[in-house]
Structure formats: C-alpha cells, structure tokens
Amino acid sequence: MIKRIDSHLFTLKVKLGQGRVAIIRAHEGPATRGNQTHTMVDLELRYEGKTLFPLGVIYIGIPGHRSIDGDYTRAAALRAFALKPGDTDREFFDGYTTEQLEFVTHYGEAISMEADRRFGEGV
C-alpha cells in the first residue's frame, strides 16, 4: 500500500488573540486558468479545529517570476483572508458562508497586520 504524502507548499499559523490560532495551508492549485503567466495556489484555512475555508474555495494567482512558496506567496495567502466587507466589491463575498463572512469581518484586520509585520507592506 502506498501512503499518500501531503503535498502542501507551506503552512502559516496566525495568532488571533485569546489563544485563538488560524492555520493557513497552501497547495499548488490546478493548471493555470487561461493565463499562462500565473500559477494558481489553492488555500485552506482551519480555525478552532475545523476547516472554515476548504480547498477549492480561495485561490491566489502567483506571477511566473515569483516562487510559489516564497515570501510573496505567503504574504498573498495571508492577505487573501484579510479582505473583509468594505475592502472590495460586495459581490466578492457572495459565495462566502455566514461563518466565513463572520471570520473575515472579525479577524481580517488582525491578519492584515500580521502580513505587514511578517513581510512588510510592500510584499
């Protein structure tokens, strides 16, 4: 029997205060979607013991000249979960569950600040 090896690119742990931690895991996504200059990275977010954002829901596109497991991608992964209502078009959140929307509304700013702390505002 062959044991499946988890092929994730990286894991980020984000302290959200009061002992709460979000765990973001990045996986190389499906083939590029019509744009051959970017690699899709599929993101998963676990919070309080359950998968709040499963694979296949949140993707980020990484330019071909960037590493898919480097600081640029890690910062983009954090910032993907930092977007909250008011930061972008309302339609962006149409597919979010109530639980997902509550998470980004409550913790989006903390995740954004963590991205800046770890990688700087310019990354």
- pLDDT per residue over 26-68, tens digit each? 998 765 556 567 888 999 999 999 999 999 999 998 888 888 8
Please determine, for residue 3, whether its predicted confidence score (pLDDT) is greater than 90: no
Q: Which residue type sits at 60?
A: I
The pLDDT of residue 4? 42
What does each C-alpha distance from 24 to 2, 52, 64, 75 come to in angstroms? Answer: 27, 10, 22, 11
| CA–CA distance, 30 with 44 (Å, rounded to integer) | 14
Please determine, for residue 123, whether its predicted confidence score (pLDDT) is greater than 70: no
The pLDDT of residue 2? 44
Cβ–Cβ under 8 Å, residues 107 and 67: no
The pLDDT of residue 6? 59
pTM: predicted TM-score of the whole model, two decimal places: 0.86
